[in-house]
Amino acid sequence: KQEVTQIPAALSVPEGENLVLNCSFTDSAIYNLQWFRQDPGKGLTSLLLIQSSQREQTSGRLNASLDKSSGRSTLYIAASQPGDSATYLCAVRVGRGSTLGRLYFGRGTQLTVWP
């Protein structure tokens, strides 16, 4: 069964810092990996999706990398801002048999960026 772990569980940093959030997964046979952002009590906003054949994706100040063989992904946030404060979730998609269609989520990293 696929298990997704995110480290750290919480992170509090001053504005302007560059951040690295970590995600690891146990089954390397994934279709893709997605990073989401969730504000308190809200739905999920998709940030980046990396297909299994890709090594990284970039969007603005965000860069996500994928090392499928070692079961790891990192989300890099450059020049953090208070508006980046949210919970960041990592999810992987495995496409075999009973796991078809579903995303497996980590518990998230709760990020606080203070001015």
Partner 1 sequence: EAGVTQSPTHLIKTRGQQATLRCSPISGHTSVYWYQQALGLGLQFLLWYDEGEERNRGNFPPRFSGRQFPNYSSELNVNALELEDSALYLCASSLTGNTDTQYFGPGTRLTVL
Look at residues 87, 104, 106 and name the one whose alpha carbon lies nearest to residue 41: 87
- Does residue 9 touch partner 1 according to CB under 8 A? no
Number of residues that bind partner 1 (CB under 8 A): 27
Residue nearer to partner 1 on the CB measure, 91 or 113: 91
CA distance 56 to 72: 12
Selected from 19, 21, 88, 108, the binder of partner 1 by CB under 8 A is: 108
Identify the CA nearest to 7 among candidates 28, 18, 23: 23
Please give the residues from 46 up to 85 whose contact with partner 1 meets the rule CB under 8 A.
46, 49, 51
* In the block, residue with structure tokens 């997605």: 34
The least CB distance from residue 74 to partner 1, in Å, is: 19
Tell me which of 35, 104, 109, 113 binds partner 1, using CB under 8 A: 104
**Cβ distance 108 to 8 under 8 Å?**
no
